[in-house]
Amino acid sequence: MRRFRVPDGTPEAQYRHAGLLAVQLCLLLTTACTLALSGPLRVGPTDQVLLALLLVQHAGYVLWLRRAPQRFQLIGLLELGGELLAGTYRMREVLLVDHTAHGLSGYSYWLALPYLVASLALPPRAALAVSGAYLLVLGALGAAYWTNPDVPPGLRQDNGNAWLQMLLMHAALLTVITLQQHLRRRYALAVTRAERRSAQALRDPLTGLPGRRALDDWPQLPGGLHSVVYFDLDHFKRVNDTHGHDVGDDVLRHVARAARAALRAGDRVVRWGGEEFLLLIDGDAAAARAAAERLQDRLRRDPHPVAGPVTLSCGVAHRRPGEPLDSTLGRADRALYAAKRAGRDAVEVAG
């Protein structure tokens, strides 16, 4: 099981769990209906007992899948093993023991189910190997039936033809399920790659912070009342000129780490570009000013090991009801330049 484990919570795991749950619910419903109609359907006492046991089994699997969805692979393997053994045994009885049987029995309709369960419980190659082996066993039973001299010729012809048609249908079904698995995996891989590229496009590679494009993916921002802190590093060009761009890049990472640490839950920090950053504060202008001052204080207490103390000029703006975010950012930008004119290392609040 460890080798075949699908990571919990992934779309692949959710798909497989939902598929197995649907199979178990269908089996539970079918078993319950057959048991309820056992009289009109002339189901024998032994088969009624087996149906009752199957009803308990499927009900237990459904409950297990609901309460422990992460165990879906184990449940699928148990169901698969039971179906393989039951199908092989029942068809052996029909074909090689009960030579007077007309037709392939009602159980033959369920012989294709292991292909579906294997595709849900196992990875593609393992599912194909198990399903292919099962199909070969069914084919071997049919060959043994056809060559058995104790089977009446007329019965052999009728049941042998039905068996051959069934095997061909099984082969077609197995082919379709295998192709569907392959296409699903390719689709899932393409989606994963697209999501990764999208996340990379929205994230600043230098600091690891969300970039300005990430604002488009935060739907909570347009509807609520927020404040912003627009800040940049004072005399950052001097850092690059004195210590080089590698140190300058490390200073930006240093500020990004400090900004993350200074924020409360619900607040966010964005790299706006160059040495400019943006704090998105879930609160009023006073809360935003407090966040900016916490960040400034943290940087004073923790200077960069090469460039030394880092100071910030900050502009704060509270978002007015119904105000477009661009307008709020414009007021914060004007407050930022007011902080620079005031001598830098300052926080100014927009009116």
| 325: exposed, middle or buried (Cβ count in 10 Å: 0-12, 13-18, 19+) | middle
Residue tagged 């089994």 (tokens)? 57
Q: Which pLDDT tens digit goes with each residue over 294-307?
A: 999 999 999 999 99
Residues 266 and 294 in one domain: yes
Residues 195 and 245 in one domain: no
Candidates 143, 133, 147; CA nearest to 164 is 143
Residues 182 and 227 in one domain: no
Candidates 321, 327, 351, 328; CA nearest to 338 is 351
The dihedral sign for the CA sequence 225, 273, 269, 251? negative
The predicted pLDDT at position 222 comes to 43
Q: How does 171-185 read in b/e, with b if 16+ C-beta sit within 10 Å?
A: eeebeebbeebeeee
The number of domains in the chain is 2
Residues 304 and 161 in one domain: no
Q: Cβ distance 175 to 167 under 8 Å? A: no
Q: Cβ distance 15 to 2 under 8 Å? A: no
Is the residue at 19 inside a domain? yes
Q: Cβ distance 319 to 307 under 8 Å? A: no
Please report, in tens digits, the pLDDT of each residue of the chain (351 residues total): 445 566 666 778 888 999 999 999 999 999 999 889 888 877 788 878 988 999 999 999 999 999 999 899 999 999 999 999 999 998 888 888 876 555 667 778 889 999 999 999 998 889 999 999 999 999 998 888 888 888 878 777 777 788 888 999 999 999 999 898 888 778 877 777 766 665 555 678 899 888 877 676 554 544 455 899 999 999 999 999 999 999 999 999 999 999 999 998 888 899 998 999 999 998 899 999 999 999 999 999 999 999 999 999 999 999 888 888 889 899 999 999 999 999 999 999 997
Q: Is 275 a catalytic residue?
A: yes
The predicted pLDDT at position 223 comes to 45
The predicted pLDDT at position 81 comes to 95
Q: Which pLDDT tens digit goes with each residue over 176-223?
A: 998 988 887 788 777 777 666 655 556 788 998 888 776 765 545 444
Taking the whole predicted model, whether its pTM rises above 0.75 is answered as no
163 is in which domain, residue-wise?
11-199
Q: Which pLDDT tens digit goes with each residue over 120-139?
A: 999 888 999 999 999 999 99
Instruction: Count other C-beta atoms under 10 Å from residue 312's C-beta.
Output: 25
Three-state secondary structure call for residue 257: helix
Q: What is the CATH number of the domain that holds 261?
A: 3.30.70.270
The catalytic position among 79, 83, 275, 348 is 275
For 216, phi then psi, to 5°, come to -70, -20
Residues 270 and 154 in one domain: no
Residues 121 and 233 in one domain: no
Is the residue at 204 inside a domain? no
Is the residue at 4 inside a domain? no
Interstrand relation of 227-233 and 268-273 (parallel, antiparallel or unpaired) = unpaired
The predicted pLDDT at position 45 comes to 85
**Using N-to-C axis directions, what is the helix angle for 45-67 and 11-36, rounded to 10°?**
150
Q: Cβ distance 238 to 262 under 8 Å? A: no
